[in-house]
Amino acid sequence: MAIATELPAEAAQPRRSLVSARTAVGVAAVALFLAAWQIVGANEIVRSDLISYPSEVAQTLIQMAASGELGANAIVSLQEFLQGFIPAILIGVAAGTAFGLSARLHALFEPLIVMLNTSPIIAFVPVVVVWFGVGTQSKAIMVFLAAVIPIVINTVTGITEVHESWVRACRAFGAKQPQVIAKAILPGALPAVMVGIRLSVGRAVVGLIAAEMYVSVRGIGRLIQVYSTSDRAAEIFVLVTVVSSFGFLMVTLLRRIETWLAPWSLER
């Protein structure tokens, strides 16, 4: 026992310096990588049309942003994303709540949920395009399909795993079922719901880009497809960066919303 109590104290000391060591080494490694990439690409040690190099990527980013090409297509993708993602949150949380409260209802839909959850969702892109056309609607549907499943699954888990004691406390003070749901079950499930929403961002982005790459008129995925035949790697790196940044920003934003909406989730 003596050793066990000794350990955390011992570990606490070097941890503070280790955090900065992690950052320092990480930044150094990335800087080294970028420098090597720049040297190899700019000096044509490897053909630069195949791998590009950081300064060319940065220049291309500025050009594409200045010409309006990036902005115009990003707006289209963002609209498609929101058109699918917001319904996915609303329907996912509503369905998840219903499933969480009624095990029978959940059992009815479980095979469909498991099937959609385990199958490679982008395989549905061609069918969705045939069904809903080459325009923005099919992209919104893909975003919805990709995003809704993690939200449903996490909402169900959140609801079924709410502390029994919270529910009993409400009942003990004479709360009716709707009050129990509003005051104990939904707030208790909120942290899990937010995790589901955050998890679904990545899936939704992939669904969107895949659908746009498959067939579309405008959007970031469309641009990727256009530049894939242009013998230039720089544009692809720019577009990858844009898409990654969007996912990162969304997840950061959702974390902010989570701490504001459900500060109790930090206690977990």
Rounded to whole angstroms, the Cα distance separating 73 from 14 reads 48
| 129 near other proteins (CB under 8 A) | yes
188 contacts other proteins (rule: CB under 8 A): no
249 lies in the binding site for other proteins (CB under 8 A): no
Question: How many whole angstroms separate alpha carbon 253 and alpha carbon 265?
Answer: 16
Residue (83 or 225) nearer to other proteins, CB: 225
Contact status: 28 vs other proteins (CB under 8 A): yes
Q: Measured from the CB atom, is 33 or 264 closer to other proteins?
A: 33
Pick one of 165, 177, 179, 244: the residue that binds other proteins (CB under 8 A). 244
Of 132 and 166, nearer to other proteins (C-beta) is 132
Task: Please enumerate, as own/partner, the contacts of 247-256 that have beta carbons within 8 Å and a separation of 24 or more.
Answer: 247/201, 247/202, 247/205, 250/201, 250/205, 251/198, 251/201, 254/194, 254/197, 254/198, 254/201, 255/198
Determine the size of the site formed for other proteins (CB under 8 A): 75
**Interface residues for other proteins in 132-161 (CB under 8 A)?**
150, 153-154, 156-157, 160-161
Q: Does 264 bind other proteins (CB under 8 A)?
A: no
Under the criterion CB under 8 A, does residue 228 sit at the interface with other proteins? yes
Q: Rule CB under 8 A: is residue 123 a binding residue for other proteins? A: yes
Sole binder of other proteins in the list 106, 141, 185, 191 (CB under 8 A): 106
Q: With binding defined as CB under 8 A, does residue 113 bind other proteins?
A: yes
Is 112 a binder of other proteins (CB under 8 A)?
A: yes
In the bound complex, what is the minimum distance in angstroms from residue 201's beta carbon to other proteins?
Answer: 8
**Closer to other proteins by Cβ: residue 87 or 247:** 247
Binding segment for other proteins (CB under 8 A), chosen from 72-80, 81-89, 112-120, 170-178, is 112-120
The distance of closest approach from Cβ of residue 149 to other proteins in the complex, given in angstroms and rounded to an integer, is: 9
222 is an interface residue for other proteins by CB under 8 A = no
Q: Confirm or reject binding of residue 117 to other proteins (CB under 8 A).
A: yes
Instruction: Supply the DSSP string of the chain, one letter for each residue.
Output: -HHHHHHHHHHHHHHHHHHHHHHHHHHHHHHHHHHHHHHHHHTTSS-HHHH--HHHHHHHHHHHHHTTHHHHHHHHHHHHHHHHHHHHHHHHHHHHHHHHH-HHHHHHHHHHHHHHHHS-GGGGHHHHHHHH-SSHHHHHHHHHHHHHHHHHHHHHHHHHTS-HHHHHHHHHTT--HHHHIIIIIHHHHHHHHHHHHHHHHHHHHHHHHHHHHHS-SSSHHHHHHHHTTTT-HHHHHHHHHHHHHHHHHHHHHHHHHHHHH-GGGGG-
Residues 32-71 that bind other proteins (CB under 8 A): 33, 50
Q: Which of 29, 39, 182, 249 binds other proteins (CB under 8 A)?
A: 29
The gap from C-alpha 48 to its chain's centroid, in whole angstroms, comes to 32
**137 or 160: whose CB is closer to other proteins?**
160
